Amino acid sequence: MNVRHNLDLISGSAELEAVNVELVSRINNTTIFLSYLNKSKITEKYDYIVIDTRNDSNIITNNMLVASDMILGVTDPSADGFEALTNLVGHIEYLKSELTHPVTNESYVKAQVFFIGNLIRHNTRISRQFKEAMKGNSRYLGYFHDRTAFNEAAMQRISVLDLFEQKDYQDKKYDEFKKDTIDLIDRIKETLDTLY
């Protein structure tokens, strides 16, 4: 579906669960999507392909991870969130070691993992602890503020950047929030661009 100029969307499907079951019996079942991307012309059509996956390690998700150049682990400031990031790094390392070419022993998995904080508040102890814990971590790119603007953009079915153009968000009190959000989006893009 064409969402706007320069942006297309392919929505997920409940049928993916059935595909996941079907893939269990397939040889090389975690490299099927990578093979599809390499054979198709889809990568020639787009500058970037963004895949939003569930936080699991089923075969479908593993296919998406294997085909990726960059993986963003997104977490709120919680113990479970930190544990999920650690598990994500371990899982990617496992995939890298397991999915190798039989002759060259080169891994099919090229992805690098980076971290993004989400729902971070400026005035809570747990958010300050999160920022302190992430300081100096080479994988950490920054965080998104815990602001209702994200929910409001979703309700209007627009991007948060489009929301920033609306009159209500021209007030100076939103300047820091808008700047931090745009800076993080730019940092993600710049990081990806330097990888390949």
Confidence band of 115 (pLDDT split at 50, 70, 90): very high
How confident is the model at residue 192, as a pLDDT? 92
137 is a domain residue: no
Does residue 132 belong to any structural domain of this protein?
no
Question: What is the number of domains present in the chain?
Answer: 1
Contact between 38 and 63 (Cβ < 8 Å): no
pLDDT of 154 > 80? The answer is yes
pLDDT score for 186: 94
Let me know if residue 14 belongs to a domain.
yes
66, 96 Cβ separation under 8 angstroms? no
Assess if residue 49 is contained within a domain: yes
Assigned domain for 151 exists: no
Per-residue pLDDT tens digits for 124-142: 888 888 888 888 888 899 9
The pLDDT tens digits for 23-77 are 888 878 888 888 888 888 888 888 888 888 877 788 888 888 999 999 999 988 8
Q: Percent of the chain at pLDDT above 90?
A: 26
Q: Is 23 part of a structural domain of the chain?
A: yes
State the DSSP code for 13: -
Residue 80, in any domain of the structure? no
d(C-alpha 119, C-alpha 104), whole Å: 43
Note down the domain range covering 6.
1-67
* Inside any domain, residue 18: yes
The least confident of 27-31, 116-120, 144-148 is 27-31
